[in-house]
Amino acid sequence: MKLEELTAEAAKLSEDDRASLAARLLHGLEKPHHGVSDEEVMSRVREADANAEVMITFDQLVSGLRFRVGHPA
């Protein structure tokens, strides 16, 4: 079965079933190579919710990433 056919069939599922299918597919992928746990992510979300000053702009994020890999901003 081709990807387009699978996509068309999946579109016929309920939203809950599509979400379940997506979760199963994602869990079947190779584990990410980063070391950030779900707990760490949720901790950062709570921190941001409690104090908006910890947030950065998209441009600040990109600049920091470029600096980290050694490319000029």
What confidence score (pLDDT) does residue 31 get? 76
Using CA atoms, how far residue 45 sits from 4, 40, 57, 70, 72, in Å, is 36, 9, 15, 28, 29
Using CA atoms, how far residue 65 sits from 37, 47, 70, 72, in Å, is 20, 21, 9, 10
- pLDDT tens for 17-48 read 999 999 999 888 887 677 888 999 999 999 99
What confidence score (pLDDT) does residue 58 get? 92
Residue 72 has pLDDT above 80, yes or no: no
Residue 61 has pLDDT above 60, yes or no: yes
